[in-house]
Structure 1
Amino acid sequence: MKPMIKQLAALVLASGMVTGAQAATTLNLNHQWPATTTGSQVDQWFADEIAKRTNNQVKIRIFWSEGLGKAKEGLSLLQNGAIDMAAISPAYFPAQLPFFSAPNSIPMAIETVDQANTLMQRLLKEVPAYSEEAEANGVRALFFHHLNPYLLVSREKIVSTDQVNGKKVRTWGADMPRMVQAVGGTPVTLMLPEIYESLSRGVVDAAPFAVDLVVNYKIFEVAKNISEITLWEGPAWGIWISKSAWQKLTPEQQKIFEQVANEAMERDRNAVLAKGAEARKTLIEKGVQFHAFPESEKAKWRAALPDFFSDWIKRMDEQGKGDGARQTVQIWKEVVGE
């Protein structure tokens, strides 16, 4: 048996062990980020609060930096019971989670953290398709993180769409590559841990990234330019729990999870905004230059984009899910003021 499989099997067995009159539950959470990011610290707070408020009857053990499997394996690991919880981005699973993936991947459609926060809360409350999609995949979304706007981080100064033409740019999902291609760039799909080395070796010339993540991942060592254009902003990775793990919890414990999840989402929003302001100061000290991206060039890039909303609705219509998609887009446009 492979070492990783042995470890997962042991953890599954351990999570089911009980002692004393009342069962104590340990839930194993595979995390796509290292423990040092702002959001990761919120997740640790979430785990600590769950233990505290359940009197240690429920404990969450976090395995950072894909400790129990790659992020792209997260959904299948939840479904087959190898893990109980996961911190993963839904955009890695556009086929299985098309509703959750849309706000996590459609580019240049949200500008601020608060817009992203409002959008995800409204979608979860007002559009039944989201809970139905989670149920169909045997998972439950507890809460979603925020990220500061993904600006264009590059090895060389870029302040026009013409300068993006011919550049290799890190992307993910189905829509980010099309955004890059719209102005002549070459999309390169990379996972988060690959960004630093890829920029260092010239595998990519640029990468959309948040300023605080540029600090966390030390991207400033290999890319000294940041262009002030928001290429992506939206609800980020979610904290998910498998249906089987959720059913292990008592009704009272489930209520505690929901309450702490709501608090964690608000805590995350505040922490992310504060960290973004702090990161800008740090990056300037590290020699990073911030460049204005002219409004005329932003408009030129947006004009070149495909109609992501219409394309997504069409795809969802083909799956018989068009009504939920139209409802999503209507709320989305209300939130961003279109």
Structure 2
Amino acid sequence: MKKTLGWAAAAFTLALPVSTLQAQALELKVADSFPAGHYLVRLMLKPWMDDVTKRTNGGVTFTYYPNQQIGKAADMLRLTQSGVVDIGYIAPSYVSDKMPLSEVAQLPGAFATSCQGTLAYWKIAREGLLAKQEYAPNKIKLLMAVVLPPYQVWTVKSKVESIKDMQGLKLRTTGGAQDLTLRALNAVPVRMAAPDAYESLSRGTMDGLLFPLDSVVSYGLDKLVKHATEGVSFGSFIVAYSINQSVWDKLPEDVKKAMDEASEAITPKACADVDKEGEVTTKHLKDQGISFDPLPDATRAEMKDKLKGVSQEWASGLDSRGKQASAALKEFEGLLAAGGAK
């Protein structure tokens, strides 16, 4: 007999004693906004689900709802908190009012690879300040995360070669820290979720995007953009899957152990795979005629200088609202310097 955690069955199933749960199969609802075949689902989510099922000898299975079938990206926190889904793709950028400190991993110039950012964020969000200040108050527990390689500027018409070329460009961002980044370079941030970017770009309401390399292909944006910058980190984005805390608390201990072990195993592998995937994607995009334009040394130095103040501006703004942003920044930078989660 199977019990489904989520929807109306959740209350009944989770009310059962642990000894009863251990004798039953558990089916968990998982939802995100990614299109079918998205590389992060292939590299992180599905391997994790398969691993958990294997570690529990088939005792835990998952029903997966991709492509905004249950709700939009911005709704995933609420849907996970309410138990509509058990595990949701909760990107801090899309709920920045609820998880503003997590943007510490999305500031410009902090790291050069996915794994550098991922391992540091994993530590601070599972055991450090973010675990206590963001995940616990929102009644969710982080299961797995990847911090994407540094974002680049993608444009439809002219390439970016100087600070002057950035002036007035309307570029898609995820909000928060990325907005500060573009304003520091005199560009105009246009905040929106990734699934909405194609329509806006095709209509000409934006000049381009701040976007990660592999997602350009996943969302079909490679059919629209013509140029991409190289040589400067314009920030990043956190892809995170979290479980409803109440669901987690009621799981049998052996299931928790299996999930934790699967999470610890997939995190370094997924970020390494993301970094490798970028090399293949770059070649594919070049073959399609998209030009990758290394920024001139003078421009790169000027941009990095202008972006130096973004982290402090971000931290000061949140500190003034009673958030521990400076403390989060110090902890995250310390983890980066130490090589992430050790």
Category of TM-score, reference length = shorter chain: 0.7 to 0.9
1:135 paired to 2:136: yes
Alignment partner of 1:208: what SS?
A: strand
Q: Is the 8 A contact 1:178 1:306 kept in 2?
A: no
Is 1:167 equivalent to 2:181 in the alignment?
no
Identify the residue that residue 178 of structure 1 maps to in structure 2. Answer: 180
Shift of residue 183, structure 1, vs aligned partner: 2.2
Q: Secondary structure of the residue that 1:145 maps to in structure 2? A: strand
Classify 1:322/1:174 alpha carbon distance in 2 versus 1 (closer, same or farther; 3 Å): closer
RMSD across aligned positions (CA) = 2.7
TM-superposed CA distance for 1:75, in Å, is 1.2
* Separation in 1, partners of 2:339, 2:307: 18
Q: Deviations over 1:181-229 (max 9, x none)?
A: 2222111112111222222221111112222222222212111111114
Q: Is the contact between residue 94 and residue 193 of structure 2 (CA under 8 Å) also seen in structure 1?
A: no
On the 8 A contact 2:5/2:28 being kept in 1, the answer is no
Change (3 A) 1:23 1:15: farther
When residues 326 and 187 of structure 1 are mapped into structure 2, their CA distance, relative to the original with a 3 A threshold, is: closer
Counterpart of 2:7 in structure 1 is 12
State the alpha-carbon separation in 2 of the partners of residues 209 and 317 from structure 1. 29
Supply the distance in 1 between the matched residues of 2:326 and 2:180 (Cα, whole angstroms).
25
What is the match of residue 16 of structure 2?
none
Residue correspondence of structure 1 range 258-337 to structure 2 within 5 A: 258-305=260-307, 307-314=309-316, 315-316=318-319, 318-319=321-322, 321=324, 324-325=327-328, 327-331=330-334, 334=337
SS of the counterpart of 2:238? Answer: coil
In structure 1, C-alpha distance between the alignment counterparts of 2:82 and 2:32, rounded to whole Å: 17
> What is the aligned partner in structure 1 of residue 64 from structure 2?
62
Deviates more, 1:83-92 or 1:315-324: 315-324
TM-superposition CA deviations, 1:301-336 (whole Å, max 9, x none): 233337233334332364263674354254156359
2:34 aligned counterpart, secondary structure = coil
Q: Distance in 2 between matches of 1:177 and 1:27?
A: 36
By how many angstroms is 1:38 displaced? 1.9
> Partners of 2:295 and 2:74 in 1: how far apart?
33
Farther off after superposition, 124-133 or 290-299: 124-133
- CA 1:247 to 1:205, structure 2 compared with 1: closer, same or farther past 3 Å? same
User: 2:219 pairs with 217, 220, 236, which one?
Assistant: 217
Using the TM superposition, give the Cα deviation of residue 269 of structure 1 relative to its aligned residue in structure 2, in angstroms.
1.6
Unaligned 5+ residue runs, structure 2?
A: 14-19
Letter in 1 for 2:132: S
Change (3 A) 1:313 1:87: same
Unaligned runs of 5+ in 1: 1-8
Aligned to 1:3: none
- Once the two structures are aligned, what percentage of the paired residues are identical? 24
* Separation in structure 1 between the aligned mates of residue 41 and residue 202 of structure 2, nearest angstrom: 25
Contact residue 103 and residue 176 of structure 2 kept, 8 A:
no
The match for 2:240 among 229, 234, 238 is 238
CA separation in 2, counterparts of 1:288 and 1:81? 43
| C-alpha displacement of 1:134 | 1.2
Q: Which residue of 2 aligns with 1:147?
A: 148
| TM-aligned CA deviation for residue 108 of structure 1 | 3.2
Which residue identity lines up with residue 116 of structure 1 in the other structure? G
Map 1:39-78; keep pairs closer than 5 Å.
Answer: 39-41=40-42, 42-78=44-80
Aligned pairs for 1:80-229 within 5 A: 80-103=82-105, 105-124=106-125, 127-156=128-157, 157-229=159-231
Q: Aligned-pair distance for 1:97?
A: 1.6
Q: Identify which range, 256-265 or 235-244, moves more after superposition.
A: 235-244
The letter for the 2-side match of 1:36 is: G
Pair 287,145 (structure 1): closer, same or farther in 2 beyond 3 Å: same
- Please say if residues 165 and 184 of structure 1, whose CA atoms lie closer than 8 Å, have aligned partners that are also in contact: yes
Note closer, same or farther for the CA distance 1:24–1:283 as it changes in structure 2 (3 Å cut): same
Is the 1:112–1:233 Cα contact (8 Å) retained in structure 2?
no
AA partner of residue 33 (structure 1): F
Contact 1:312 1:325 in 2 (8 A): no
The structural deviation recorded for 1:267 is 2.2
AA matched with 1:66:
Q
Please give the TM-score of this superposition, normalised by the length of structure 1. Answer: 0.87
3-state DSSP of counterpart to 2:84: coil
Alignment of 1:21-36 (within 5 A): 22-36=23-37
Q: Give the distance between the partners of 1:326 and 1:187, measured in 2 at CA.
A: 23
Question: How much does 1:245 deviate?
Answer: 1.2
